[in-house]
Amino acid sequence: MAGRRPEKKALVRSDFTALLADVKSRIQAAQTRAALAVNAELVRLYWDIGRIIDERQKREGWGAAVIPRLARELHNELPELKGFFERNIKAMVAFYREYSDPAAIVQQPVAQLPEKSISPQAAAKSTVAPIPTKSHWAPGFAKPRRGDNGTFQ
C-alpha cells in the first residue's frame, strides 16, 4: 500500500551492547589521548618557562627576587590561573636546569607503546607520573610516596 511506512527492525540487545561497548571504548581512548596531550604540553610549558627565567637571570643579571614578583603578578593579572606560585616557578627553573637539553625529556615508556597495546585505564594512570629534578618535582605532577618496603608507590 502506498503511504505505508516500512517497519523498523527491532534493535537486538546484543547489537546494542556491542554498539555501547564500541562507543564507550572510543570515548575512553579519546580521553586518554587528550590527557596525554595536555600533560605533554604542560611539561613543555614548564620547561620553557624555566628556560626563559634562567636565560634572563643570566643575561640580565637578575637575582632570585624576580620569581616571587613574577608569581605575584601572574596571580594579579590571571587570578583564575592555578599552580604558578613561587615554589612551582622555582621548580620550573630547576626542571629546566636539570634537563636543559629538550631531547632528554621523553615520554614515559608506556606512552611510547602502540595505542592498542595498553588499556585506556592503564595509560590514564600513567599521566600523573612525576618528573624529578635534583631537588624538586615539576608542578602539576604527583610526587611518589615511598612504601613500607622502600619502593615507590
Q: What is the mean pLDDT of residues 58-66?
A: 86
Residue 126 near residue 108 (C-beta atoms within 8 A):
yes
Query: What is the C-alpha to C-alpha distance for residues 61 and 59, in angstroms, rounded to an integer?
Result: 6
For residue 152, the cross-strand partners are: 146
The residue ranking higher by pLDDT, 97 or 4, is: 97
The pTM (predicted TM-score) of the whole model is 0.60
Nine cell digits for residue 20: 555501547
The residue ranking higher by pLDDT, 153 or 66, is: 66
Query: What is the C-alpha to C-alpha distance for residues 144 and 152, in angstroms, rounded to an integer?
Result: 6
Residue 42 near residue 140 (C-beta atoms within 8 A):
yes
Q: What is the pLDDT of residues 79-123, one digit of tens each?
A: 999 999 999 999 999 999 999 888 777 766 766 666 665 565 665
Domain parsing of the chain, residue ranges: 15-102
Q: What is the mean pLDDT of residues 43-56?
A: 95
Give the three-state DSSP class for 145: coil
Of the CA atoms within 13 Å of residue 88, those in its CB half-sphere come to: 19
**Confidence at 128, pLDDT banded by 50, 70, 90:** very low
